[in-house]
Amino acid sequence: MIILSIETSCDETAIALLKAEETKSGVDFEILSDQIASQVKIHAPFGGVVPNLAKREHIKNLPILLKRALKEARLPLGSRASKLDAIAVTYGPGLEPALWTGINFARELAKKWRVPLIPVNHLEGHVYSALMQKSKFKIQNEGIFPLLTLIVSGGHTELVLVKNHLNYKILGETLDDAAGEAFDKVARMLKLGYPGGPEISKLAKFGHRMSINFPRPMIHSKDLNFSFSGLKTAVLYKIREMTQTKFRSKKVKADIASSFEEAVVDVLVRKTIKATEQYKPRAIALGGGVAANDKLREELAKKFPNILLPNKRFTGDNAAMIAVAGYYRFAKSKNWKSSKNIKATGNLRLSKR
Ligand code: KG4
Ligand code: ZN
């Protein structure tokens, strides 16, 4: 079957076309097209995503990306779909004005082409991204579940136990800031560019990881929850202590970035170890924008040599991962009834469904 997917939860407009073929052992996927229009430059002057600007850009980008995707996949779709089997769309979590643009666009297309519409949880996409290595990939039916996934993005930090396709249990989550959010905020304090995560990790490579002993919030707590707001404040105090001359030095900034990154990675790795001890998963995976962080990938791979790390192409928001999650949702229900009343849900959570 062929699925068209649409992702507009934050500041990336994305459309993908994916072919899925069921085999005895699993599903063979092929990404026919994977289009992304990033809005980074538009939001950068504001130091964060402005919801109404994001909405405006999504509305502008969606028809352009659709045209490009159909062309690349060589799918000339007229008013009646000939080859397309379903449309998957992200309906949460994310910025509601942004989510609505994708939902409304998807709804129109589904109506025009008379194909079913599948609502997808954005976080499910990040879970599947670790299983997507290239344009063609296979997801086996056996051997991966229960799968422990660490999702680290701009809006979320969660340890999720995936018991089977579409069956999730949240084991722990952040009580305040998400890991990516902390990266972005600390980058702003250091007067680096936006988004901050990649900037911090670039600068951190020139610093000493042990130069400042930043706190590791909740690292010894019994549960699997996280907290990054105290760490962010500790960085702020450290900067305030410094004289202007000292703060302007690249070396000093690099030491801060490096020690901060070390503290975040330390907490994420320790909690993942704790979760594996408690839940004994068969496989471990990483997903979300912060999964692009080399230090995090390196340290997790040291502890878990078989960890499933997403291809960097799929760490940030993309529509290909939404198509894969949409495929499982569609395939699982024998008589799929197109969801007429999809509603953008900003605070949508992963659950057992
Ligand atoms: O998954 P994502 O693209 O969007 C959300 O769903 O939130 O994640 C974006 C987050 C941003 O906070 C960004 O700074 C962070 O991922 N990020 C990184 C790196 N690349 C992106 N954080 C740390 N190191 C990186 N290399
Ligand atoms: Zn995301």
CATH at residue 240 = 3.30.420.40
Name which residue sits closest to atom 7 of ligand 1, judged by CA.
Answer: 154
Q: What is the pLDDT of residue 3?
A: 97
Position 346 in a domain: no
Q: What is the DSSP string of 273-328?
A: HHHHHHH--SEEEEESGGGG-HHHHHHHHHH-TT-BPPPGGGTS--SHHHHHHHHH
318: CA distance to ligand 1 center in Å? Answer: 12
Q: What is the pLDDT of residue 223?
A: 98
Report strand pairing: 86-92 vs 117-121.
parallel
DSSP character for 214? -
CA distances from residue 87 to 74, 101, 127, 148 in whole angstroms, order as listed: 17, 15, 19, 28
* 244 and 278 together in one domain: yes
Position 291 in a domain: yes
Q: List residues near ligand 1 (CB under 6 A).
A: 10, 153-155, 180-181, 183-184, 195-198, 201, 288-290, 292-293, 316-317
Which numbered ligand comes closest to the C-alpha of 297?
Answer: 1
Pocket test for ligand 1, best of 152, 153, 181 (most atoms within 8 A of CB): 153
* 119 and 239 together in one domain: no
Which numbered ligand comes closest to the C-alpha of 310?
Answer: 1
Which numbered ligand comes closest to the C-alpha of 295?
Answer: 1
* 70 and 152 together in one domain: no
Report strand pairing: 283-287 vs 147-152.
parallel
Q: What is the pLDDT of residue 261?
A: 98
* 119 and 39 together in one domain: yes
Per-residue pLDDT of the chain (353 residues; tens, 9 = 90+): 999 999 999 999 999 999 999 999 999 999 999 999 999 999 999 988 999 999 999 999 999 999 999 999 998 766 555 689 999 999 999 999 999 999 999 999 999 999 999 999 999 999 999 999 999 999 998 899 999 999 999 999 999 999 999 999 999 999 999 999 999 999 999 999 889 999 999 999 999 999 999 999 999 999 999 999 999 999 999 999 988 777 788 899 999 999 999 999 999 999 999 999 999 999 999 999 999 999 999 999 999 999 999 999 999 999 999 999 999 999 987 667 666 789 999 999 998 66
* 186 and 275 together in one domain: yes
Q: How many CA atoms lie within 13 A of 57 on its CB side?
A: 22
Q: What is the pLDDT of residue 278?
A: 98
* 83 and 227 together in one domain: no
From the alpha carbon of 180, which atom of ligand 1 is closest? 12
> Can you say how many angstroms the Cα of residue 255 is from the centroid of all Cα atoms in its chain?
28
22: number of Cβ within 10 Å: 12
Q: Three-state DSSP class for 32? A: strand
Position 220 in a domain: yes
Pocket test for ligand 1, best of 128, 152, 290, 297 (most atoms within 8 A of CB): 290
Please work out, in degrees rounded to the nearest 5, the angle formed at the alpha carbon of residue 181 by the alpha carbons of 177 and 186. Answer: 105
Which numbered ligand comes closest to the C-alpha of 292?
Answer: 1
Position 343 in a domain: no
Name which residue sits closest to atom 3 of ligand 1, judged by CA.
Answer: 316
Alpha helices in 136-293 (DSSP H): 179-189, 196-204, 229-241, 244-248, 250-279
From the alpha carbon of 155, which atom of ligand 1 is closest? 7
Q: What is the pLDDT of residue 137?
A: 97
Q: What is the pLDDT of residue 352?
A: 67
Binding site for substrate: residue ranges? 151-155, 184, 197, 293
* 18 and 56 together in one domain: yes
Position 129 in a domain: yes
* 134 and 283 together in one domain: no
From the alpha carbon of 179, which atom of ligand 1 is closest? 12
Q: What is the pLDDT of residue 245?
A: 79
Distance CA 107, CA 120 (A): 13
Position 96 in a domain: yes
Q: Which domain holds residue 118?
A: 2-143+313-332
* Nearest residue to 23 via CA among 152, 103, 138, 122: 138
Q: What are the φ/ψ torsions at residue 140 (nearest 5 degrees)?
A: -75, 155
108: CA distance to ligand 1 center in Å? Answer: 31
Helix-then-strand count for the chain, H and E: 11, 10
130: CA distance to ligand 2 center in Å? Answer: 13
Distance CA 347, CA 298 (A): 31
* 303 and 321 together in one domain: no
250-307 confidence digits (pLDDT tens) = 899 999 999 999 999 999 999 999 999 999 999 999 999 999 999 999 999 999 999 9
Binding site for Fe cation: residue ranges? 122, 126, 317
289: CA distance to ligand 2 center in Å? Answer: 6
Report strand pairing: 2-7 vs 86-92.
parallel
Binding site: residue ranges? 122, 126, 151-155, 184, 197, 293, 317
DSSP character for 226? B
Q: What is the pLDDT of residue 246?
A: 79
Name which residue sits closest to atom 1 of ligand 1, judged by CA.
Answer: 289
Q: Three-state DSSP class for 23? A: coil
Return the biggest CA–CA distance within the chain: 67
From the alpha carbon of 154, which atom of ligand 1 is closest? 7
* 326 and 185 together in one domain: no
Domains of the chain: total: 2
* Nearest residue to 89 via CA among 121, 53, 65: 121
Distance CA 43, CA 154 (A): 14
* Nearest residue to 28 via CA among 137, 142, 154: 137
Q: What is the pLDDT of residue 60?
A: 98
Please work out, in degrees rounded to the nearest 5, the angle formed at the alpha carbon of residue 71 by the alpha carbons of 327 and 100. Answer: 55
